Amino acid sequence: MQKSKHHHYIEVLAKRILPDDMEASVIQQEFHRLEAGFAGENRLKQTLSDYYFKTDRHIFYNFECINENGFSHQMDAILVTPLFIVIFEVKLLSGTLFYKPAQHEFYRIHNEKRENFRNPLDQVYRHQLFLEQCLRKWQITIPMCFAVVIANQQAILDESLEKFPIFHISGVPNFIESLYRNTAKTNANMRMIVAKLNQLHQVLPPRRSISMNRLRRGVLCRQCDYKNTMSYYYGAFVCNVCQAKSRDAIFETLYHYRILFGDKISNREFRDFFGMVNIKTCSSILSRLGFEKCGSKRGTYYIIPENILFWSKKKTL
Ligand SMILES: [Zn+2]
């Protein structure tokens, strides 16, 4: 399972945002929401992997794309079979969930507090309307439906939700069985649908950006849960608090930079982000890394490779 680019971005930002920043707690909350969502999607994946499908099938997880109006769609999972398509929306909500259908109002009561939510039924129905229109354009006829799946057992679904396709994750096999039983045979070309969806799929960029002055600089110590910084000392970074020594913390820091600001980094940006002052030391670190070098003189920059996090296994400074 792949996390979205936005998820990676918020994950790094949660480690890097200055603790007294106005948005610090909003970002931490968003990070926890994304982690919970990802855990939920993984549970759906496990459930679907354990199910015996009666036909061939293809499942897309975290399907992202942009529609003709320029708006984005993020679908947790799309199940394609030769007989039907199902769009799954996974929620990890706790408390008791209620629905007022006429008003399209979705809310929960948790710890005696009432809280309104973005309606997940409407959210996933919007995806369905979009995909139906795509299929019409592709001249493919196949039944489509959606389901909202609740991924934590502790959640209580009120009776007001009874008539709607929303249920606990353990109900997924039953739901698919009944689709197999009740769907009339079509002769849709599943390979074609999968190919078209693959064309439509697009990795979306993070939904926000940040300026460097709102971030904590430096190499952060993993041992200290990223709370303390490390100093460069003879080829390695040493934690200023716990004294842990790391030869690969630099790769993680470069990964943070790449996620937040992109793959180009100049000597100046390197010093700025790493909180180091010595130009010569930084130049020698950058050249020893052996990154692809572009531009010349003051316009020189380096390209941080995509797999920088995995460099720690093969390279030391
Ligand atoms: Zn430390």
Would you list the domain boundaries of the chain? 5-200, 217-313
- Tell how far the Cα of 295 is from the centroid of ligand 1, in angstroms: 36
- Tell how far the Cα of 18 is from the centroid of ligand 1, in angstroms: 18
Question: Are 274 and 249 within 8 A, CB to CB?
Answer: no
DSSP 103-134: GTEEEEEETTEEEEE--HHHHHHHHHHHHHHH
217-313 adopts what CATH topology? Arc Repressor Mutant, subunit A (1.10.10)
- Tell how far the Cα of 233 is from the centroid of ligand 1, in angstroms: 14
Residue 315: band (very low, low, confident or very high) from pLDDT cuts 50, 70, 90: low
Tell me: pLDDT of 40 over 80.
yes
Tell me: pLDDT of 187 over 80.
no
Percent of the chain with pLDDT over 90: 88
Percent of the chain with pLDDT over 70: 98
Measured distance CA(168)–CA(18) in Å, rounded: 38
What count of other Cβ atoms lies within 10 Å of the Cβ of residue 63? 20
- Tell how far the Cα of 218 is from the centroid of ligand 1, in angstroms: 13
Average pLDDT over residues 130-154: 95
pLDDT digits (tens, 9 = 90+) for 154-172: 999 999 999 999 999 999 9
3-state secondary structure of 148: strand
Residue 46: band (very low, low, confident or very high) from pLDDT cuts 50, 70, 90: very high
Q: Look up residue 153 and give its amino acid.
A: Q
- Tell how far the Cα of 122 is from the centroid of ligand 1, in angstroms: 46
Tell me: pLDDT of 291 over 90.
yes
- Tell how far the Cα of 230 is from the centroid of ligand 1, in angstroms: 7
Determine the pLDDT at residue 302: 96
Determine the pLDDT at residue 316: 56
- Tell how far the Cα of 241 is from the centroid of ligand 1, in angstroms: 5
Nearest-CA neighbor of 81 among 143, 140, 166? 143
User: Tokens standing for 307?
Assistant: 């797999």
Measured distance CA(70)–CA(68) in Å, rounded: 5
- Tell how far the Cα of 243 is from the centroid of ligand 1, in angstroms: 6
